[in-house]
Amino acid sequence: MASEWKMTNRVAKLTARTVEQAEPGEARYRIVDTELKGFWLIVMPSGRKSYRLRYRVGGGRGGTIREPRIGEYPSMKPDAARRIAAEWLALVRQGGDPGGDRQAARGAPRMSDLFERYLADHAHPHKKAASVAEDERLIRDYLRPAFDRRKVAEVTRDQVLEFHVGLADRRYRANRALALLSKAMNLAELWGWRPDNTNPCRHVRKYREEKRKRFLSAAELARLGETLRLAELEGALLGIDKNGQTRLIPVLFSAIVAIRLLLFTGARKSEILALQWDWIDMTTGRAALPDSKTGEKTLHLPPAALAVLQRTARLPGNPHVIVGRKHGAALVNLKDPWGVIRSHSGLEDVRIHDLRHSFASIGAAGGKSLPIIGALLGHTQPATTRRYAHLADDPLRAAAAEIGEQIEAAMAGEKARVIDLKGP
């Protein structure tokens, strides 16, 4: 600021004509307004002209001098600049500091800063690697393009709503992105980047999502079993490659093992791909998983799963059951082999996760209770298992129908067969 005080001063009322006719010189100079104290125009050698207001914060000679820029000519006319200058001076008289406020606002954190801190301070320390990767995808593909340059404190509900509506054709992604943004905004309040209780995602309704319930029928399981046996025998299946050509496509034996274990245990894909031999007790039929989506977990291995493990060789130097192509490493990609297997089986719409659903649905239809099914699947919330409730009701409906028939026959005077109420 000291160098600006050495500028040449000219005195005049800042009118449209005065400002327009102010010619640039070899050095910058200012035209001090005769009507509003501290209001002036700076004219640069380049011809650039900007309005400024000079004041002291707190008043008195000991106050800090501010000289914030109000705007530039010709985009801002002198009368408009004068009104703003008068408003700022009124704030100064009330103890305000409009220039300092603007300076603080310029340095305020932007959404790009919030996304970086969310990943570093929240996602990485507290979430599973797969969840972190999903958060990174949502931020990269959806949230950054929409919000990156906005200031955290200035994001509004209307902007969030516009973003969410813009993803109406991708409801699942829209809802996941909204949930992540809401969490980040809650953290912004915790970190002092927004006032408390100002989360702009609040009251923005998520889209209704259709719950996908795909279970394999007995006929579909038979086709899948035949395909797995053929792949195991031949080491390849006839399919269409990435170039659209029909040919024999190799299928790793470890991928076949993984799919069989998924079917027989109802485990998550990540749990089977991470499975290690040292975690398995073949005698008790259990695998002690040190980590899963819900923490430590005991994976129960039925005889069919144990038979698969007994037929699977343990490779020296590799602790993993489902081995990859690299020495000592686990298989990380089931997408490609599953694509070949499901296509060959005529199950194009079946996802890997649907094998877990099928395990649960067969248990429910067979009369297993929802708490038992939830425990086998590793659900921590009963609501997660409740999607199979309609299947669990089937044995109850059958039993009720049979008992009703017996009572009806007895009331009609017919001889009813004895019902063993103790069960097997």
Three-state SS sequence of 177-211: HHHHHHHHHHHHHHCCCCCCCCCCCCCCCCCCCCC
Q: Can you give the pLDDT at residue 424?
A: 43
| Spatial separation of the C-alpha atoms in residues 39 and 85, rounded to whole Å | 7
The tokens for 124 are 């990485």
153 DSSP assignment: G
| Spatial separation of the C-alpha atoms in residues 35 and 9, rounded to whole Å | 15
| Spatial separation of the C-alpha atoms in residues 342 and 346, rounded to whole Å | 6
Cα–Cα nearest to 87, from 72, 103, 71: 71
Q: What is the pLDDT of residues 67-76, one digit of tens each?
A: 888 889 998 9
The tokens for 251 are 């299928």
For tokens 């899963």, the residue is 292
139 DSSP assignment: I
The amino acid that residue 409 corresponds to is A
| Spatial separation of the C-alpha atoms in residues 286 and 129, rounded to whole Å | 25
Cα–Cα nearest to 97, from 63, 71, 61, 72: 63
Q: 147: number of CA atoms within 13 Å, CB side?
A: 36
Q: Can you give the pLDDT at residue 2?
A: 40
Q: How far is CA 60 from the centre of its chain?
A: 53
| Spatial separation of the C-alpha atoms in residues 216 and 196, rounded to whole Å | 49
Cα–Cα nearest to 204, from 161, 152, 159: 161
| Spatial separation of the C-alpha atoms in residues 158 and 297, rounded to whole Å | 43
| Spatial separation of the C-alpha atoms in residues 357 and 378, rounded to whole Å | 13
The tokens for 99 are 């220039």
* Contact between residue 392 and residue 368 where contact means Cβ atoms under 8 Å apart: yes
Strand 64-66 and strand 55-57: the pairing is antiparallel
The tokens for 244 are 């659209």
Could you give the 3-state DSSP secondary structure of residue 49? strand
| Spatial separation of the C-alpha atoms in residues 355 and 338, rounded to whole Å | 11
The tokens for 204 are 């923005």
Averaged pLDDT, groups of 10, the chain, 424 residues long: 57 92 90 92 92 82 79 92 91 81 72 94 88 93 94 94 94 94 96 92 88 79 92 88 83 93 87 93 90 76 90 93 91 90 90 83 66 63 58 56 60 54 44
Consecutive H or E run containing 264: helix 253-265
In 251-320, the DSSP E strands lie at 280-281, 286-289, 297-300
For tokens 């905004």, the residue is 185
| Spatial separation of the C-alpha atoms in residues 27 and 44, rounded to whole Å | 7
| Spatial separation of the C-alpha atoms in residues 368 and 392, rounded to whole Å | 7
The amino acid that residue 177 corresponds to is A
Q: What crossing angle do the helices spanning 218-234 and 253-265 adopt, rounded to 10°?
A: 150
